[in-house]
A and B are shown apart, each in its own frame.
Chain A
Amino acid sequence: MSTGRLLRQELVALWAFGVREYHIWESYRVNQVLWLTNLLVTSFLFFLLGQTLAGDVGGLLGPAYGTNYMSFIVVGVTVNVFINTNLADPYIRIQRSYFNGTMDLFLLSPMSIYTPLLGLMSKSLLDDYPRLLFTFGFGIWLFGAAFQFGAWPLALLFTVLLLAAGFGIGLISASLFYLLDIKKGTEPVQFIVQGIMATLLAGTYYPVTVLPRPLQWLACAIPHTYANDALRRLLDPGAQAAVPVLPIQQALPGLAPVLVDGLALGLLAVVLLPLGFWLYGQGIERARRLGTLTRWQ
C-alpha cells in the first residue's frame, strides 16, 4: 500500500475516533455543566480573595506579571486545564482499553499503534479548546481580568509547545502501563507531574517566587512553569517581559526571560514527545511478548 493511502487510512481512523469522542461527549453533558461550575467557583473564589483581603493583591505579583490578579489566575488555570487532557488522559485511555479488551481490536486493524492514542486525544478538541474560551470569558466578563492580545502568535506557539510537551509526558505515562505493569490505581508519572508538581510548583495560583528556592528550581523541570511565565508576560497587561523570575532565567541573564521559556519548552517538547512515542511502542511490544495486551486470556 502506498504511503499516501496509508496516511489517508490513518486520517480516516482519526476521524472515526473524533466522531466517537463526540458521541461520548454528547452523552456526558452533565460533566460539562459540572466542569463549568467548578471553573466558575474557582474563579469567583480567587476574585473574592483578591477583593476582600485588605490591600492590593495585584501589587504582590511583582513587575513581571502586571498588577491584575485575576489575569494572573486565569492564565494559570487555563494552562493547567489545557495540558491536563494531553498529560493525564493517555494512561487512563490505555487502562480502559486494556480492561474492556479494545486494545486487541485496535491492534487487529490496519491502524498504527499510535493512532488510537492520537484519536482519543481528539477529545481535547471537543473539551479543552471550548474550556479555554470559557476560562477567559468568565475572567474578563465576570471577574475583571484583562488581557492584551498583541502577541497572540507567540502565545499560540507557546501553547502548541506546551501541548506537545504535555502529550510527551502523557505517552510516557501511558507506556508505563505495559512497561512496568501498572495496571490499576494511580500511575506515578502523571501523578507526580500533574498531581503534585504542576499543582504545587507551576505557579498556577501564586508566583513561583513564593516557593522556597529549591522548589523554584524543581518547578523549572515541568513545562507548565514556562507556559505560565511566558503567557503571563505576553498576555497580562502591565507585565514586564524583561524581568527574570524563574531561577533558570536569573541564571541566564543574557537571554530574555520569554526566550528562556521558549527554549526550555521547546527542549522539553523535542525530548519528551519522541521519547514518549518510543516508550509507548516499546510498551506495546513488551505486552505482545508477554501476552498482557488485554485482560482476555
Chain B
Amino acid sequence: MTRATEQQQGGIGGFVRACTATARLEYRNLRYYPVNLLLTAAQELTAVGVWYFVARFLAARAGEAVSDYGGNYLAYVVVGVLLNQIGLTALNSPFTTVSEAFWDKRLETYRLAVHGIWANLLGRLAWQVGFSTVLQGVAYAGLLAAGGISVAGSLPWGVLAITFVLFLIANAGLGIAGASLFFLLEVKSGQDPITWAYRYLVQLASGLYIPVALLPGWLHAVGGLLPQTYGLTAVRALVLTGAGLESPLVQAGLTGLTVAAGLCGAGGGGLFALALRRAEGQGGMGVVV
C-alpha cells in the first residue's frame, strides 16, 4: 500500500468514510430491491404486533404489576419490545455481516483495505440500527395513534439519547463478541452462541415482558447481568413516566448500562480483534474453493 493511500484510507476520517460507504451500499441495496424494504418492515412490525396483542390480552390483569412504570401494561410491553427490537438488530448484525462476507468471498478483499472488515461491520451495523430505529419509531407512532398506550407529557430527551446510545453500545459489543466466534470457534452459519443465549435470557429475565421484581429469585439474579435489563428499566421510566435523572429507576438503569457498555464494548472489540489476528494466522479468512 502506498503512503498516499495509507494516508487517505487511514485515520479517523478514513474510517468514517469507509463506514459511510458501507452504509450507503446497504441503502442502495434496499433501493434496488424495494420489496425487501417492505418485507423487513413487515417482519419487524409483526414481531411488535404479536406482543401488542398479547399485552392487550393480559392488560386487564397486569396493570398493578407495572405500577412503577405508570400502570399501563400495554405501554410497558410495547416500549420494551420496540427497544428490544433495536437492541436485537445491534446484537445480530455483526455475526450476520461477517458470515455473509465470508460466504460471498468478500472477507479477504475487505481485509486488504486499511479499515476493511471493521468498516464493513460497523457501517452495516450503523445502517441497520438506524433503519430499525426509524421503523420502531414509526411503529410506536402508529400504536400511539391506535390508542391504548401512552407516553409521558414531556420527555428528558438528553438523558434518553444518552441512555439509547449506551444501550446500543452494550448490545453491539455483545454482538461483536458473538461475531468473533465465527473465527474463534469456527461457527460458520446460523447464529453464534453468545447472541443465541442472550436472546433467550433477555426474554425470560430482563423484564421485557414481566417486571423483574415479579420473577423468581434465580431469574432476578440472571437479569442483573443483562444490559437489556438496565436499558429497559431506564427507557421505560423516562418514556412512560417522564422521570429524569432524579428517578431511582433511571439512575439504576443508567449506571448498569454504563458499566455494560464499557465492558461489552471493550470486550467485544478486543475479542474480535483477537479473532481477526488468529484467522489471518491460520488462513481462515477465505472460503476454500
Could you tell me which A residues sit within 8 Å of B by CB distance?
34, 37-38, 41, 44-45, 48-49, 52-57, 60, 185-186, 191, 195-196, 199-200, 205-207, 210-211
Nearest 9 A/B pairs, CB to CB:
A55-B61, A206-B57, A52-B214, A53-B62, A41-B200, A210-B57, A186-B39, A200-B49, A196-B46
What number of B residues sit within 8 Å (CB to CB) of A? 29
Answer yes or no: B210 CB below 8 A from chain A CBs. Answer: yes
Nearest to B73 among chain A residues (CB) is A53
Contact B204 A41 (CB under 8 A): yes
Question: What 5 new A-B contacts, CB under 8 Å, besides A53-B210, A185-B35, A191-B39?
Answer: A185-B33, A186-B39, A195-B42, A195-B43, A196-B46
Query: A41 CA to B205 CA in the complex, in Å?
Result: 11
Query: A44 CA to B200 CA in the complex, in Å?
Result: 11
The residue that B61 contacts in the complex, of A60, A185, A196, A199, with Cβ under 8 A, is A60
Contact B210 A210 (CB under 8 A): no
Chain A residues positioned under 8 Å from B60 (CB to CB): 55, 60
Answer yes or no: B144 CB below 8 A from chain A CBs. Answer: no
Chain B residues positioned under 8 Å from A48 (CB to CB): 204, 210, 215
Contact B58 A60 (CB under 8 A): yes
Q: How far is the CB of B34 from chain A (nearest CB, A)?
A: 11
- State whether A206 and B53 are in contact (beta carbons under 8 Å apart), knowing that A44-B204, A53-B58 are contacts in the complex: yes
Q: Is the interface of B mostly helix, strand, loop or mixed?
A: helix
Answer yes or no: B54 CB below 8 A from chain A CBs. Answer: yes
- State whether A45 and B203 are in contact (beta carbons under 8 Å apart), knowing that A52-B214, A54-B64, A200-B50 are contacts in the complex: yes
Q: Give 1 or 0 for each of B171-208: 1 = CB within 8 Å of chain A CB.
A: 00000000000000000001000001000100110000
Chain B residues positioned under 8 Å from A45 (CB to CB): 203-204, 209
Instruction: Scan residues 25-65 of chain B and give those whose CB is less than 8 A from a CB of chain A.
Output: 33, 35-36, 39, 42-43, 46, 49-50, 53-54, 56-58, 60-62, 64-65
Contact B203 A191 (CB under 8 A): no
Query: A52 CA to B210 CA in the complex, in Å?
Result: 8
Q: How far is the CB of A217 from chain B (nearest CB, A)?
A: 16
Chain A residues positioned under 8 Å from B49 (CB to CB): 199-200
Could you tell me which B residues sit within 8 Å of A by CB distance?
33, 35-36, 39, 42-43, 46, 49-50, 53-54, 56-58, 60-62, 64-65, 73, 190, 196, 200, 203-204, 209-210, 214-215
- State whether A53 and B43 are in contact (beta carbons under 8 Å apart), knowing that A41-B204, A48-B215 are contacts in the complex: no
- State whether A41 and B203 are in contact (beta carbons under 8 Å apart), knowing that A200-B49, A200-B53 are contacts in the complex: yes
Chain B residues positioned under 8 Å from A205 (CB to CB): 50, 53-54, 57
Nearest to A55 among chain B residues (CB) is B61
Contact A185 B210 (CB under 8 A): no
Query: A60 CA to B55 CA in the complex, in Å?
Result: 12
Query: A37 CA to B196 CA in the complex, in Å?
Result: 10
Q: Can you list 18 A-B pairs, Cβ within 8 angstroms, ordered by A?
A: A41-B203, A45-B204, A49-B210, A52-B215, A53-B214, A54-B62, A55-B60, A55-B61, A55-B62, A56-B61, A57-B58, A57-B61, A60-B57, A185-B39, A186-B36, A200-B46, A205-B50, A206-B54
- State whether A34 and B58 are in contact (beta carbons under 8 Å apart), knowing that A48-B215, A200-B50 are contacts in the complex: no
Nearest to A38 among chain B residues (CB) is B200
Chain B residues positioned under 8 Å from A195 (CB to CB): 42-43, 46
Query: A38 CA to B203 CA in the complex, in Å?
Result: 11
Chain A residues positioned under 8 Å from B50 (CB to CB): 199-200, 205
Nearest to B49 among chain A residues (CB) is A200
Contact A199 B56 (CB under 8 A): no
